[in-house]
Structure 1
Amino acid sequence: GVKPIYVKGIAKRLPHFDVRGQGLILLDGEK
């Protein structure tokens, strides 16, 4: 899946994607 660090980088650059970014991190972490 997508690496949490990579998603966090996107979330910081695109604040409006912060919620989606964290959601991806949670989903990726559960797998």
Structure 2
Amino acid sequence: MSKPFKRVERLGTVRLFNNLAVFIVSENIYFL
């Protein structure tokens, strides 16, 4: 039961990092 939960947690972390990366890239483009 803990395995699927860990998988979902990992997916959420990846999604969070993707959002952060997109935010950083958009901020860099804005400052350029």
Q: Which has the larger radius of gyration?
A: 2
* TM-score, normalisation: structure 1: 0.48
